[in-house]
Homo-oligomer: A and B are copies of this chain.
Amino acid sequence: MTNELRVLIDGQWREADAASVFQAEDPSTGNRIDRVVPVSRWSDCDAALSAATKAAHELEQVPSEKIADFLDGYAASIDLNWKAPVYLAHEETGLPSKPRLAEVELPRTSDQLRQAAAAARERSWRRVTVDRQRNLRSCLGPIGPVVIFGPNNFPFAYNAVCGGDFAAAIAAANPVIAKAHPLHPGTSLMLATMALPVIKKLNLPPAMVQMIYHLEPETGLRLVSDPRVGAVAFTGSKAAGLALKEAADKAGRPIYLEMSSLNPVVFLPEGMKENTQKWATELADSCTAGSGQFCTRPNLVFMIAGPASEPFLGQLAAAFKTREPHTMLARLVRDHLNHSIAALHKAGAEIVTGGKNIDGPGYRHENTLLRVTGKTFLSAPGEFQREAFGNEVLAVTVANDQELLEVLNHLEGNLTASIYSSTTGADEELYNRLAPLLRRKSGRLLNDKMPTGVAVSPAMNHGGPYPSTGHPGWTAVGIPAAITRFTALQCYDNVREERLPPCLREA
């Protein structure tokens, strides 16, 4: 087999112990890419875990300044050598090189690494607590080797070998075993290649950053269950996330998941009268940007049937029809979307516009608007909350306030929930009844704003109630909070001064 990729274990690019191989396609042409991804057997995971365990012990002794230097150095290398990863990521994902990959996602990625570096230096994530009277001291410390499963939709910013989870895990001095996404292997290889010289130059443990590409499902379950694992982070589909969660939970391994979210948006009636066109345009922008391939795309919107609702839906449909859909990340992604739309239709949703795959050399799907009444939604609320990753939205028109509340009460946990309302105060009474309900069902509550676009800010919450994640207390974006996912609480009771970690000493 020509050009079969090697896995990165303990500082070496090794031939994988491959059970089989996988070959990605260029989604804009459907042509196979000349890079063959090994599907690793357990022995690759086992070797990575052993090396990571040793690296974890070594990293415990490394000054946080040096960890920060690694993160900064890696960021600088990505910024300097941006052309090759952008070229590869465009080929492998179909995402536009400019502005998306080169001007938005890549700078965001190096910025995340730098924010993590600053947090590693500044150390507030350690939450130092000292009780001098009792000589009792505690702080957060590294949790151990972190296994990261990266998603397909952000080849840089959420990549297992350089993205947000990676930055957070490393900042807390944990080695990372990156399970790169097999749909952008060349991109991941290019990024990992930039990390290695920085590790070497700083004389850090070589197994601080390791990478494999692909695993058969049972090998993945075994990996997340291994007692050498400190924690697992996963971003991806609900089905895969729940399977990994079950295995990790059973073995007592902490797992953080970002799985699935429909990001409901509610448009209140008085404001809709005033802003019909504006709101329809904002929604259309948010649904169709990047063909809706974002965790925070709005898939489900609610409005009370009234004088403005039909014009609103008409303008939304018109916008959907006139916008050219982007290439999707892969054939499978497009087919999943098409399958979900068919299932929503079968359950009783009317297809207003779109609904079909687009012929042509690339994998694209029509911008799709479906609609359903509140009454029909209530007949099968689970079915109408089916995951539909892509440029699709289901509009639910309800009869009145009461039905709106009833429908929202059936929502599952989401990353976000948005409420658009009048600025005159005319929707305030209804807002006050809805907001507490949506607050409990979401991690981030928005006003008059679409949920797409997740700012890397200390105040961000990219998390939410189950099943959008596994626990509503953690966020995957936002430093230092995201770092604390990869820590254990370490208490020192009557421990002699010279034996304490530096952050807990008196001097």
CB of B491 within 8 A of CB of A460, answer yes
Contact between chains at B459 and A473 (CB < 8 Å):
no
The answer to whether the Cβ of A150 comes within 8 Å of any Cβ in the partner chain is: no
Q: Which of B60, B447, B491 touches A461 (beta carbons < 8 Å)?
A: B491
A129/B459 in contact, CB under 8 A: yes
Q: Closest B-chain residue to A458, C-beta based?
A: B129
Is there a chain B Cβ closer than 8 Å to A252's Cβ?
A: yes
Q: Contact string, A469-507, partner B, CB cutoff 8 A, digits 1/0?
A: 011111100100100110111111111100100000000
- Let me know if A470 and B252 touch, CB within 8 A: yes
Across-interface contacts of A449 in B (CB, < 8 A): 493-494
Say yes or no: A455 contacts B134, CB within 8 Å: yes
Contact A246–B252 (Cβ < 8 Å):
no
Whether A446 touches B250, Cβ cut-off 8 Å, given contacts A459-B129, A475-B489, A489-B481, is no
> Whose C-beta in chain B lies nearest to the C-beta of A467?
B252
In this complex, the interface size class of chain A, counting residues with CB under 8 Å from chain B, is 35 or more
Interface residue ranges of A228-252 to B (CB < 8 Å): 245-246, 249-250, 252
Nearest chain B CB to A253 CB, angstrom units: 8
Contacts of A254 in B (CB 8 A): 471-473
Whether A465 sits at the interface, judged by CB under 8 Å, is yes
Nearest to A470 among chain B residues (CB) is: B252
Give the residue of B60, B140, B460, B490 whose beta carbon is less than 8 angstroms from that of A138. Answer: B460
Which residues of chain A in 244-270 are interfacial with respect to chain B, using CB atoms and an 8 Å cutoff? 245-246, 249-250, 252-254
> In the complex, which residues of chain B have a beta carbon less than 8 angstroms from the beta carbon of A487?
473
Residues of B contacting A387 in the complex (Cβ-Cβ under 8 angstroms) = none
Q: Any chain B CB within 8 A of the CB of A87?
A: no
Given A440-B144, A489-B474, the answer on whether A496 and B447 have CB atoms closer than 8 Å is yes
Near B by CB (< 8 A), chain A positions 297-344 give none
Known contacts A254-B471, A465-B488; is-contact A459 B495 (Cβ 8 Å): no
- Whether a CB of chain B sits under 8 angstroms from the CB of A131 is yes
In the complex, A141→B441 CA distance in Å? 13
- From B130, B134, B447, B499, A493 is in contact (CB under 8 Å) with B447
Q: A42 an interface residue at 8 Å Cβ cutoff?
A: no
How many angstroms between the C-alpha atoms of A160 and B17 in the bound complex?
52
Alpha-carbon separation in the docked complex, A83 to B397 (Å)? 61
Which chain B residues border A471 with CB–CB below 8 Å?
254
Contact in complex: A443, B491 (CB < 8 Å): yes
Instruction: Name the B residues within 8 Å of A435 (CB-CB).
Output: 499
| A444, B495: Cα distance in complex, Å | 10
With contact pairs A461-B138, A493-B446 given, residues A488 and B473 touching in the complex (Cβ less than 8 Å):
yes
Measured between C-beta atoms, what is the minimum distance from A465 to chain B in Å? 7
Tell which of B138, B140, B448, B459 touches A136, judged by Cβ atoms closer than 8 Å: B459
CA distance A441 to B325 in the complex (A): 53
Q: Output the least CB separation between A471 and chain B (Å).
A: 5
A487 to B254, CA, bound (A): 18
Does A445 lie at the interface of the complex (its beta carbon under 8 Å from any beta carbon of B)? yes
> Is A143 part of the binding interface, using a Cβ–Cβ cutoff of 8 Å?
yes
- Distance A127 CA – B129 CA, assembled complex (angstroms): 15
A375 at the interface (CB under 8 A from B): no
B249 touches A460 (CB 8 A): no
Q: Which of A418-470 contact B (CB under 8 A)?
A: 431, 435-436, 439-440, 443-449, 451, 455, 457-461, 463, 465-467, 470
A140 B252 Cβ-Cβ under 8 A: no
**Interface residue? A6 (CB, 8 A):** no
Taking a contact as CB atoms closer than 8 A, the residue among B134, B446, B474, B490 that contacts A457 in the complex is B134
A371 contacts partner chain B, Cβ-Cβ < 8 Å: no
Is A137 in the interface zone, CB < 8 Å from B?
Answer: yes
Is A386 at the interface (CB under 8 A from chain B)? no
A57 within 8 A of B: yes
Q: CB distance B484 to A473 under 8 Å? A: yes
A411 to chain B, nearest CB (A): 12
Q: Nearest 5 pairs between A and B by C-beta?
A: A252-B466, A461-B491, A472-B488, A249-B249, A131-B459
Additional A-B contacts beyond A245-B249, A447-B494, A459-B491 (9; CB < 8 A): A136-B460, A143-B472, A252-B466, A253-B466, A431-B499, A435-B499, A444-B493, A446-B495, A461-B489
